Amino acid sequence: MTYLCNQPDMFVEEMIQGFAAAHRDLIVAVNGGVVRCHQAEPGQVVVIIGGGSGHYPAFGGLVGPGLVHGAAMGNVFASPSAQQIYDVALAAYAGGGIILCYANYAGDVLNFNQAQARLQAQGIDVRAVVVTDDIASAPLAERQLRRGIAGALPVFKVAAAAADSGESLDEVCRIANEANARVRTLGVAFSGCTLPGAKQPLFQVEHGKLAVGMGIHGEPGLYQQDALPADDLAEMLVKKLLQDISPAGDLPEGTRISVLLNSLGSVAQEELFVVYRKVDQLLHSRELIIVEPVVDRVITSFDMAGISLTLFWLNDELEIYWKAAADTPAFKRGAIPRFAPETDAVLIPQVAVAGQPVTVGSPASQRIAAIILEIFASAKQIIETQQEELGRLDAVAGDGDHGIGMLRGVSAALDAAKKAHDAQAGIETLLTLSGEAWAARAGGTSGALWGVMLSTLGNKLGDTTVPDTATVAASIAAALCEVMQCGKAQPGDKTLVDVLQPFSATFDQAVARGVSVVVAWQDAADIANTAAQQTRNLLPRIGRARPHAEKSIGTPDPGAISLAMIITAAGKVMSRHCA
């Protein structure tokens, strides 16, 4: 379990403060994460990575000379928000373009894509490289669907070393993609991990068993089997990885290959060496040449007892960048001169976050905005009471953090709504600021989609008039379209879309009947609750739960359930005010 924290919802902020204080000679905390403490050379490409916290040394521990230039650090097991990624990228930007490099999880893809679009809108050349090394998460024929795990390190390393050597943006992007094509990883776990403040691990492994193919966010393995002695486990991992690389289960003699044996948290270094001894023997027996192996913690999952093995087969170019010197808080290779205090190297400044001006709404719109503020308060109350249950639902086939993320998001939205209301905001401004706050504080897929929903609703409802039933219906339909476009989910994928779509359709039907907004909302809320429960019969087709689809049968989707809860809470508030 995680023993040391104060308030669980402050864990990441306090962790980053301590991390930055411990490594002032290498990194500096900025809005959203950390960057190298000295600016890159003018005109140089910079490599920005990111992901959820709870995986140290990934992601902040890999920032420094010879490795990446910045890391956006999200909440525990949740993608950083688009705002965090954007802020970190701008802090490190040196004029030569930006590579955004991240693991293939729905929340990371969604938020990094949004940040990339914002940076490109400012005229910055930005490319994305998505890591897909986990062979357990999809077959080779669908490699683009695979997750990114410990094999992200070689991709980060060669991309950053190429950038530091002065390569162009096109070349750095090509080199990173080549590295990703040549890396494979498989992990096993002997126990689950426990989130800060939680009483139980996200999943259990029966004593004497091991879970094969678990995810780094606490997703359970694809299956469990009897635990193996160290040598037998090494043989299993090597065999499965080589078979994925080559159908014959081998590489040509003389192939130069790097090896990463990674502890997922509580497996001791000495245990890793026992396993690596056999890995080394197996690869040498196949006449493979091992180059600069790493036997350490690379990407962890808090206290999970488990390991992963990564094979990275090299060409001449990749080998140069893989072997290049690096100096970060958690990864050191060779010697890189440290900047002396008296040098004139440009230090990264801390950037203050500017508050957004608030548009004053019409008196009529302000009255409705006050009701929406009360809806946020009611939504926070229901999420607080159901946080643990939402986490339990999420842990069945996911990472178990949905309740925590929802509470962070709705709390931030409520705070933003209060400030907007105090500044006499109308409906659009209050919803837009609340949506931005929700997305920035919650992170992950859910946070981004709630940000999209609220901002779209606000844009359609405006700051001047009291919306009628038809206008509300149109705004919900627009929010549905934006969510489906951004999240790439369709009805039947076992997501919140399976609630939002019937909710929107029922509201549209209410327009034809000529009923009030309150009556239409109540009718649609009933349908939303039924639809949320019916997701228990669906198989997830996207997101973290997809590799564990069968495990989720019989359990409703937590995102669908939380959306239905908030829709119901909103209806009760509206009934009190608008009867």
Catalytic amino acids? 217
CA torsion through residues 217, 161, 127, 257, sign = negative
- The contacts found for 165-168 with CB under 8 angstroms, 24 or more apart, are 165/321, 165/324, 166/41, 166/44, 167/45, 168/45
Quote the distance between the C-alpha of residue 94 and its chain's center: 25
Are the C-beta atoms of residues 472 and 507 closer than 8 Å to each other? yes
Rg, Å, the chain Cα set: 24
Nearest-angstrom CA–CA distance, 67 and 59: 11
Nearest to 211 by CA among 224, 199, 201: 224
Nearest to 55 by CA among 293, 399, 323: 399
Supply the DSSP symbol for 302: T
Phi, psi of 170 (to 5 degrees): -60, -45
Assigned token pair, 168: 């162009």
Nearest-angstrom CA–CA distance, 114 and 482: 13
Nearest-angstrom CA–CA distance, 414 and 435: 10
Burial class (CB in 10 A: 0-12, 13-18, 19+), 270: exposed
Query: Tokens 């004497």, residue?
Result: 208
Strand-pairing partners, residue 223, are 212
Strand-pairing partners, residue 129, are 101
Strand-pairing partners, residue 49, are 71
| DSSP, residue by residue, 368-432 | HHHHHHHHHHHHHHHHHHHHHHHHHHHHTTS-S-HHHHHHHHHHHHHHHHHHHHHTTB-HHHHHH
Nearest-angstrom CA–CA distance, 522 and 569: 10
Nearest-angstrom CA–CA distance, 262 and 133: 14
Nearest to 179 by CA among 244, 126, 131: 131
Nearest to 262 by CA among 131, 151, 398: 151
Are the C-beta atoms of residues 88 and 33 closer than 8 Å to each other? yes
Nearest-angstrom CA–CA distance, 285 and 308: 21
Nearest-angstrom CA–CA distance, 92 and 116: 14
